[in-house]
Structure 1
Amino acid sequence: MANLAKPNLPRFAVEVYQNAYLPEGGDRVDAIVTVTATGGTGAAPGYPPGGAPAAVAVMVDCSGSMEHPPAKMRGARDATAAAIDTLRDGTRFTVIGGTHVAREVYPGGGRLAVADAVTREQAKQALRRLSAGGGTAIGTWLRLADRLLSAADASLRHGILLTDGRNEHESPEDLRAALDACAGRFTCDARGVGTDWDVKEVTAIASALLGTADIVADPAGLAADFTRMMETAMGKEVADVRLRVWTPVGTTIRFLKQVAPAVADLTGRRSEAGPRAGDYPTGSWGEESRDYHLCVTVPPAGLGQEMLAARVSLVAPETDGTVQNLGAQGLVRAVWTDDLASSTGISPQVAHYTGQAELAQVIQQGLDLRKAGDSDGATAKLGRAVQLASRSGNADTAKLLAKVVDVVDAATGTVRLKTRVAEADEMTLETRSTKTVRVKK
């Protein structure tokens, strides 16, 4: 475990959990890599009290549907005000109103405000004038947020996006292009209020921008949710941390997935980082711990042979374009043996998270089949989900599943589809399907 170059920022540690033993001819190596950041205070010279220089954009849906019912617009105004109250002094911030176009609500003029008692009150006055009308083109909101945030002298750039409807006034390709343009430039949490928005759209936004996605079915819950999101954002102290994976000649990476606190496939996000090394983005970090599942294919070797299958380290870009090594690394090994007990054992961590990844997948498949009218297929998939949630102790997901199916026997995954399911319950299950429980070490 080693300190970052900047004093008083988190120290990173990497732990690897695996069964390194392979049978003769075996070529697949699985490992769970736990990354933990501890000890940050954010009190480094030149940093504001409580954390690194930060810039935040709050994007509020102001389309016409936000007035149906009026509680949605009121809830959005109150939630944004609560988020602004949670900002650290010195944080740069802006509020964006989103319809089929994006406009600066506060402070305007292509600038960011600096959070203090005066600017918070001014922002809340501006929020009172927000009204609903127009369409929805989320890509324009994100591009405006990117322009404003990129001008800030801040190492941490974060967005909060709220929508209540589908992205009907731009093409899926336009939204995808906006996400590609913004990826790596700022992180973003996305929220859907009510039940008229598209879960896959909102979760895709959060996934692309390495943030969280969730449903707030009742607008009355927005203020508390926005406060929690902003508190988490204010606790981040290191931006754009990357997992660097080096593999020897002949070794290929099958996949790299974040598996806790939520499942997110990072495999396709690799950027090359020198001979046989690649970087995978993980976003911003405060004091926290996350788990990753790394799977590699190694060239088979003879019995008794051992090799380094992968080396995992952490890096972060500097303002001068260089990359700083954050001083922690983990080694993934492969050892070939004819000991059947050793080579057939499965790491408890690998087994747990393989099940959690399958759980997320079968929930999505089950809900898609249910919407398509395939009751038998949906029952089978959601029954498997119930079984996996029960087996792994994922009580939160089990409770959400119980609102969509009647559980006859959780251990065997025997369920019946409910004939009537509240739309909010189904959307909550779909939105939160990727959330996982940590393995008991």
Structure 2
Amino acid sequence: MSDLPEFRISVDQNPYLPDGGRDMHAIVSVEARAPGGGGAGAGAAAARAPGGGGAGAGAAAAEVIVIDTSGSMSFGGKMAAAKRAAATAVDVLRDGVHFAVVAGANRPRMVFPQGERLVRADARTRQSAVRAVRRLDAAGGTAIGSWLRLADRLLAGHDGAVRHAILLTDGKNQHESAAELDAVLRRCAGRFVCDARGVGTDWEVAELRKIASALLGGFLDVPDPADLEADFRAMARTAMGKRVADVALRVWTPQAAELRFVKQMVPAVEDLTGRRVASGERTGDYPVGAWGSEAREYHLCVRVPAGAIGQRMRAAWVKLVAPGGAVLASGNVLAEWTDDEARSTRINRRVAHHTGQSELAEAVREGLEAR
């Protein structure tokens, strides 16, 4: 039996367009279940087993934990909380996962192991890593791009594995330019997933959100350092539950059609439109990162040539593909023109919900950045 999750795609839409109508909206829901029919929580449940869980059942994985050790971390209990959180994340790693811990300041440095490399997790290496983490202290400045470059180098030799990084900072990227950070993000995009956390109240929301967005991860405000430990435990468990890396949402559209946008709506709103990579005639791939047992939802809008009343067509063909092009699941977005006003004006509830959610997310983002 394959260790890959069992994927399923379902499409919610009103397929009817009025005379002259061109824009077709659809919600594409993707559910991944653990092999054997476990639900979307099965992978996370397995990851809660002792030693990280899922040993022997999990995919090859590589993890880098990056902790801000700049001078400002010495205030408000942030450094002590960060060390506890990092130690907790290390303890969650299952046997066989390759990992490292990095301290970030003006320059990154290896906390564990020594030298730029990853080591396999087992009882001995986890204990050694925790001891090294406990010796950390806070000094220096913040140059996040250099931290990510080191994470990229560490993860580079693990193609095919689920590559993930956790990044914690409490401040602004003051020791390198925005252009330098942007160049690093362009370099790292698609090479690993990074979840970012801002602890305290002085970090730059737009900056951290940009990092998480570019690297297909999540970001979270953790104003109280006491909450870091539980958050790191949850992030590490989620990472340990991933079973397939480098998945893409592949969308085909017919001749003369235009894919206006592709947005992830669940678990977080993220515009994927600009990340399209051509993969064939009228076909593009949108990277969606690593998957375990989980569910995600995407909002597509396709502009098609206007058809005659009664004409039906496939407006888009959506597939989820693994590295190498194996199709994990597929679904169709349909369009049919009608002169029945009741049909063409019917609003699909899921499309309406996610349209409102996208608008709300934009308002929240603007509010956070104005903080």
Using structure 2 for the length normalisation, give the TM-score.
0.93
Residue 365 of structure 1: how far off its partner (Å):
3.6
Residue 366 of structure 1: how far off its partner (Å):
4.7
User: Separation in 1 of the partners of 2:184 and 2:367?
Assistant: 30
Partner of residue 204, structure 1:
210
Q: Which amino acid aligns with 1:354?
A: T
Contact between 1:40 and 1:237, CA under 8 Å: does it hold in 2?
A: no
The answer on 1:57 being equivalent to 2:64 is: yes
Contact between 1:67 and 1:132, CA under 8 Å: does it hold in 2?
A: yes
User: Separation in 2 of the partners of 1:154 and 1:308?
Assistant: 34
Q: Which amino acid aligns with 2:13?
A: Q
- SS of structure 2 residue aligned to 1:280: strand
* 1:209-260 CA distance string (max 9 Å, x none): 1111001111111111100000000000011110000001010000000011
Residue 364 of structure 1: how far off its partner (Å):
3.1
After superposition, where does 1:261-410 map in structure 2 within 5 Å? 261-317=267-323, 322-326=324-328, 328-366=329-367, 371=370
Partner of residue 22, structure 1:
17
After superposition, where does 1:10-159 map in structure 2 within 5 Å? 10-40=5-35, 48-69=55-76, 71-152=77-158, 155-159=161-165
User: Separation in 2 of the partners of 1:213 and 1:85?
Assistant: 22
- SS of structure 1 residue aligned to 2:322: strand
Match of 1:174 among 170, 180, 191: 180
Using structure 1 for the length normalisation, give the TM-score.
0.78
- SS of structure 1 residue aligned to 2:216: coil
Contact between 2:205 and 2:368, CA under 8 Å: does it hold in 1?
A: no
User: Separation in 2 of the partners of 1:259 and 1:117?
Assistant: 39
User: Separation in 1 of the partners of 2:306 and 2:247?
Assistant: 33
- SS of structure 1 residue aligned to 2:175: coil
Contact between 2:118 and 2:154, CA under 8 Å: does it hold in 1?
A: yes
Query: Which stretches in structure 1 are left out of the alignment for 5+ residues?
Result: 1-5, 372-425, 427-441
* 1:97-139 CA distance string (max 9 Å, x none): 1011111110021221211111111111111221111110100
Q: Which amino acid aligns with 2:5?
A: P
User: Separation in 1 of the partners of 2:122 and 2:367?
Assistant: 48
How many residues align? The count is 356
The answer on 1:220 being equivalent to 2:226 is: yes
User: Separation in 2 of the partners of 1:33 and 1:99?
Assistant: 42
User: Separation in 1 of the partners of 2:230 and 2:88?
Assistant: 8
Compare CA radii of gyration and give the structure with the larger one: 1
Contact between 1:161 and 1:189, CA under 8 Å: does it hold in 2?
A: yes
Residue 204 of structure 1: how far off its partner (Å):
1.0
* 1:35-83 CA distance string (max 9 Å, x none): 010123789xxx95231010100000011111123x1110111100000
Partner of residue 49, structure 2:
none
Residue 109 and residue 282 in structure 1: after superposition, are their counterparts in 2 closer, same or farther (change >3 A)?
same
Contact between 1:31 and 1:350, CA under 8 Å: does it hold in 2?
A: yes
* Pairwise CA RMSD: 1.6
Residue 289 and residue 137 in structure 1: after superposition, are their counterparts in 2 closer, same or farther (change >3 A)?
same
* 1:343-369 CA distance string (max 9 Å, x none): 11111110000010011112334556x
Residue 168 and residue 366 in structure 1: after superposition, are their counterparts in 2 closer, same or farther (change >3 A)?
closer
User: Separation in 2 of the partners of 1:266 and 1:339?
Assistant: 34
* 1:347-406 CA distance string (max 9 Å, x none): 1110000010011112334556xx5xxxxxxxxxxxxxxxxxxxxxxxxxxxxxxxxxxx
User: Separation in 2 of the partners of 1:285 and 1:272?
Assistant: 22
User: Separation in 1 of the partners of 2:157 and 2:16?
Assistant: 51
- SS of structure 1 residue aligned to 2:137: coil
User: Separation in 2 of the partners of 1:36 and 1:116?
Assistant: 32
